């Protein structure tokens, strides 16, 4: 009556809800693959050269007066406002991916930043920020007494 194949089917049947939950979770996880989210704006690249971190952020069509940069210890925050584009009478959007409104992106650096030495330049829709490492955060050579 109860053969080994029956028990195998019973265990498989018990795992079906878990398999369905796993499938739903994978679908949810990959449903947004390739889509940017609000936390991804602006798109940035960061690299280091001679103890200075360099950030390049893409901010097309934004007035530099509407961009704020703040530094606290090792966190850099880029925020601002994208103004709405005024359409002329009779014009309608067919597609609108550049949504107006506020944005904010905080980046944690691997070292403390010297806020007094930060420099920023905005040109052709690209923001370049230079973040020097704080002097007190630089590695120090320790003399060994013998």
Contacts (Cβ under 8 Å, ≥6 apart) of 124: none
**Per-residue pLDDT tens over the stretch 31-71:** 766 655 545 788 899 999 988 999 999 998 899 999 999 99
Q: Does domain 38-85+99-136 have CATH number 1.10.3720.10?
A: no
- Residue 89, class by beta-carbon neighbours within 10 Å (0-12 exposed, 13-18 middle, 19+ buried)? exposed
Confidence (pTM)? 0.64
SS3 state of residue 23: helix
- Can you give the residue ranges of every domain in the chain? 1-34, 38-85+99-136
Beta-sheet pairing, 75-82 with 101-108 = antiparallel
């Amino acid at each position: 009556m109860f053969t080994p194949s029956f028990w195998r089917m019973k265990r498989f049947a018990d795992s079906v809800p878990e398999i369905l939950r796993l499938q739903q979770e994978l679908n949810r996880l990959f449903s947004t693959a390739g889509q940017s989210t609000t936390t991804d704006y602006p798109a940035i690249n960061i690299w280091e050269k001679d103890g200075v971190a360099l950030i390049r952020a893409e901010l097309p069509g934004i007035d530099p007066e509407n961009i704020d940069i703040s530094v606290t210890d090792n966190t850099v925050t880029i925020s601002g406002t994208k103004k709405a584009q005024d359409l002329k009478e009779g014009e309608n959007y067919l597609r609108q991916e550049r949504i107006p409104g506020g944005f904010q992106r905080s980046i944690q650096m691997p070292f403390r930043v010297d806020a007094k030495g930060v420099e920023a330049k905005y040109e052709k829709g690209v923001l370049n920020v230079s973040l020097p490492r704080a002097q007190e955060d630089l590695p120090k050579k320790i003399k060994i007494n013998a």
